[in-house]
Amino acid sequence: MNILIVHGIGNYKPSLAADAAAAMLQNGWSTDLLASTSSPDSRDFDFSVSVAYYAHILRRSNSQSGALDVNFSDEEARLFLSWADACGVPMEYAQGRAFVPLRQTIAWLAQKESRSVEAVTSLVVRFIREVNDYFTSGARRDEVRGLVENEIKSKRPDLIIAHSLGSVVAYEALWNSGLPVDRLLTVGSPLGLRGGIFERVVPGPVEGLGRKPDNVGQWLNVADRGDIVAVPRFLSKSYRGISSDRETSIGMFAFHGLSRYLQSTVVSQLIRETL
């Protein structure tokens, strides 16, 4: 079985060439998958893993990437406000786009979710910036989507695991590729974020709903209860054709990481069923 992983935010490796970065991620996630699918009744499972690495295309300077005093651009601010609203942040904490509302919003959310301010800040700023970069730069968006399309066509995966921003890229790439794929598993996906992502994917929603790509057999979705990137968690409220839409818990201090998703009971069960 061939598994293709489309990574999410925060995976740019500035010291490595793209091929080397993909290989490093592949080794780590292959280990996670092997551990999660190993059991007495699954010892004969055979699978290969490849990674569609695109972070170098969306790269930007790491300076202030997680700083609490960062100023968002107008486009980033609009995305931030949509995300904050979806997270249930009171709007008096999130008005404007200077660094003070960011600080107040992050502090409120960190307290609500019992997370550290530093961890929430780093995740949110990276998420807002990388998603905004994808949607506002037509040339880079086309290049990222084209790269993932080519990986789908060359690797011919039986299962695509798409994480975080990678679920947005994979969704668009699958519609363009036309190549049949048995299963798409989205984890920690923000595809349902209205006002920031949901209306901007191509093809867009019709009568308020998106739908499973025609060439995908089954679409499965999993989100951690505390994953502040996967808002809203249940994609079946926004997309037709999702076969399974489930919650999981990947740990207090790893609330968006792909490795912990791959190791979770819910995800490993879905993968074992696919294998």
- Asked if 8 and 189 count as a contact pair (C-beta separation under 8 A), the reply is no
Q: What does R_g of the chain's alpha carbons equal in angstroms?
A: 18
Full-prediction pTM beyond 0.75?
Answer: yes
Task: Give the count of alpha carbons within 13 A of 97, CB side only.
Answer: 13
Check whether 44 has a pLDDT greater than 50: yes
Within 10 angstroms of residue 93's Cβ, the number of other Cβ atoms is 17
Q: Identify the CA nearest to 194 among candidates 84, 118, 270.
A: 84
Diameter of the chain by CA atoms? 56
Contacts of 16 (CB under 8 A, 6+ apart): 24
d(CA 203, CA 251): 34
d(CA 178, CA 213): 9
pLDDT tens track for 184-216: 999 999 999 999 999 999 999 999 999 999 999
Check whether 265 has a pLDDT greater than 50: yes
Give the H/E segment covering residue 19: helix 18-37
pLDDT tens track for 107-118: 888 888 888 888
pLDDT tens track for 56-70: 999 864 443 445 556
* pLDDT at res. 24: 97
Residue 36 tokens read as 């999660």
Confidence category of residue 258, pLDDT binned at 50, 70, 90: very high
- Asked if 75 and 136 count as a contact pair (C-beta separation under 8 A), the reply is yes
- Asked if 157 and 2 count as a contact pair (C-beta separation under 8 A), the reply is yes
Q: Identify the CA nearest to 215 among candidates 203, 232, 200.
A: 203
Residue 165 tokens read as 């921003």
Residue 38 tokens read as 């190993």
**Cα–Cα separations (whole angstroms), residue 234 to 9, 190, 191, 202:** 20, 10, 10, 20
